Chain A
């Protein structure tokens, strides 16, 4: 029981160095702020704080980085729900149901559920991290290029569920997203694609700039047209420290489990990330739900599915980092660097050689989730006031933060032009009746789908049929196909029944 021993050693360190907990509190709060402000992300927070942690003892430094990570991934739900602008890429899916729920006069419920879902996801993934991480890491190794490809397609099939009103436009939007993602140097053959002579576009359109352009700039432009009108402030329901039991019941226990399990697993896979995790969880929750038609209209299950998965993903991403020295996502890649800077060799030997570090990481992760819950819940009253801030104060501030955030990612001005360009395109598309989420889905999933498809083809010397050798991939693909044709099938069946009734 190495983990138990590590936990004990880590706990001992914290008792002897209680100031670490103080740093952790500050870190989680700073992370939340980064996560909540559109344009600033958890990854940015961790990158900016990394140099400051060099001066701390390694245990403390890592605890601080993990605090920012957890806080940053969680904080995104605030703006996703209240402003319909995801604070960070991890909370894109939270806008699907969180934002409508807040608009329907239940902002308090939406936030409470989202935060509660985050806590459950975070804690369950912590259990997986502490108890079965070596085994889980082995399972993840079974995922080859075909499996990643199939998983990406499964994510894309969500388009069906969020665009049931106008499928044609939904698909068109998804394709626009896929195309936007092809800009830049192609990862497999290193050819320049759609760069139009700008070497700055070589790395493709930056994900943060594109996302903020689509959500924040488009939203601001749209709202500008009605900014002179008086608007009603929504009545806020009573706030409590724990969400009402009936509310938790409404969001279904199985949703929490699906979100946590899928989130943890997707987190383990390198290069996939929180947004895909919450997407897959959202879609699965919808499939098993008794009222799938409510998804997208502000239903509690949708909120929980997204938020539990994106937090669980953090715990998942820590698993390959700790057991194999392979980062599960962008932030854990930076954390790995943090380990090295502190003179530790990341990788399988970490457990054997540095039990105190492993223990502190475990405890910091659990504590960060709890701190995140306590802080978000007690500050909820303040966040809700965001709805009462006049838009003419809020928007310039948002715009400023988006521009600062996008520039800071790569330290260059060019990305702010991407932000503006994508924002204007988004505004035009929205006015033509297209919806934005499928564009984002296409954009986020395209790299996973494309590069793994091509790697799979190269590995199998061009044979598409080789997918049938990959059993997990076939299973995932069948699942995706069922998800895609299910609504149409249902429609046909209903129509057939109706005809029969009429004929009789």
Chain B
């Protein structure tokens, strides 16, 4: 009995210790004096589950910042509900420079327009920097009857709303990006909103859906091994694969993907944002970071600073509004 109680206490203490690693982010003093920033741990809130693409990117950036600047960083995952739980948590935090939100511009816009988010976070939050451009691609299983984007267009014109177009999420940036492509190509397909990338991928691999619309990073591993084939990439120029044409080259002028990066709670001081922005810029110049992002995650590193992001978002907003109207029709 005695031994047991001791064991129980030991276990309890151990677990509590572990918990405190996960839970503590420090909240002692709030005043962020720019001259000495950062004085304590910078917390990155990832609104997606640990181990996903966004999470791994955030961790890689946080680790590099620690390595290059010597600042302490911690990554917290608050996932769920189309990333709204974590984003709202970050949005409500004190703007003291110690909370950084990880998200993507196009996704925030899409969820706001679709009514999933109550706030336009691209307008409310402060822009920090995006570090990767993850272009949307249309891909198929290696043995698919569709061997080019033209095949897909031809088939869908001959058989309206027959083609099973698998993607992730409803009212998501995926649906809006798809809609943009359909509009330009003047085709009509059957949009199937799976609830995770792993399910939509499995569906296309297993022949339960015809094409997959999603980010390049989601399919890179399967493309490298020859299980899947990318028909076209939605970017300004060819990304990672030299033999995959862009939609523009094929005559469909659509550039659509995710600018994944970092944002801060409203009214975070500009001085702090500058400090962080320049350290993230340095991260993006680091060869091992670029290599890790491109080879293991399939993310093309492309730094966009705070000011450019504001311009980009303002250009992007009306386009997505229009797309949203198309979807609703």
Q: Which A residues lie at the B interface, using CB under 8 A?
A: 33-34, 37, 40, 47-48, 50-51, 54, 140-145, 184-185, 187-190, 199-200, 202-204, 270-271, 320, 324-327, 330, 333-338, 340-341, 343-349, 382, 385-386, 388-389, 397, 401, 404, 407-408, 410-412, 451, 455, 458-459, 461
Contact = CB atoms under 8 A, between A and B. Distances in A.
Contact of B225 (A54, A349, A385): A349
A37 B15 contact: yes
A328 to B, nearest CB: 9
B50 A40 contact: no
Given A190-B171, A326-B201, A345-B296, A388 B89 contact: no
24 contacts: A47-B50, A48-B18, A48-B21, A184-B81, A185-B84, A187-B170, A189-B170, A190-B114, A190-B169, A190-B170, A202-B80, A202-B82, A202-B85, A320-B202, A326-B198, A333-B198, A337-B50, A337-B55, A340-B51, A382-B3, A382-B7, A397-B8, A404-B15, A411-B22
Nearest to A201: B81
Contact of B51 (A184, A188, A337, A386): A337
A144 B296 contact: no
B51 A335 contact: yes
Given A48-B21, A340-B297, A347 B222 contact: yes
A338 B55 CA distance: 11
A397 B297 CA distance: 42
B99 to A, nearest CB: 12
Nearest to B16: A404
Interface of B: 1, 3-5, 7-8, 11-12, 14-16, 18-19, 21-23, 49-52, 55-56, 59-60, 63, 75-82, 84-85, 88-89, 114-116, 118, 161, 164, 169-172, 190-196, 198-199, 201-203, 205-209, 220-222, 224-227, 292, 295-297
A411 B4 contact: no
Given A382-B7, A385-B4, A459-B192, A185 B81 contact: yes
Nearest to B84: A202
A203 B221 contact: no
A404 B17 CA distance: 12
A327 to B, nearest CB: 6
Contacts of B15: 33-34, 37, 40, 401, 404
Nearest to A206: B80
Contacts of A412: 78, 85, 89
Given A202-B85, A343-B296, A410-B80, A459 B193 contact: no
Contacts of A461: 161, 190
A144 B207 CA distance: 8
Nearest to A202: B81
A399 to B, nearest CB: 13
Nearest to B222: A347
A338 B206 contact: no
A144 B194 CA distance: 12
B67 to A, nearest CB: 12
A263 B21 CA distance: 34
Contact of A203 (B80, B202, B220, B292): B80
B190 A141 contact: no
Given A202-B84, A337-B56, A412-B89, A388 B198 contact: no
Contact of A347 (B56, B75, B78, B224): B224
Query: What 5 A-B pairs come out closest when comparing CB atoms?
Result: A337-B51, A203-B80, A347-B221, A202-B81, A348-B225
Contacts of A34: 15
B51 A459 contact: no
Contacts of B18: 48
A385 B60 CA distance: 45
B10 to A, nearest CB: 10
A203 B12 contact: no
Contacts of B209: 459
Given A141-B205, A199-B118, A348-B221, A324 B80 contact: no
Contacts of A336: 51
Given A37-B15, A202-B81, A326-B201, A345 B169 contact: no
B22 A408 contact: yes
| Residue among B19, B225, B227 with max Cβ neighbours from chain A (10 Å) | B225
Contacts of B19: 48, 404, 408
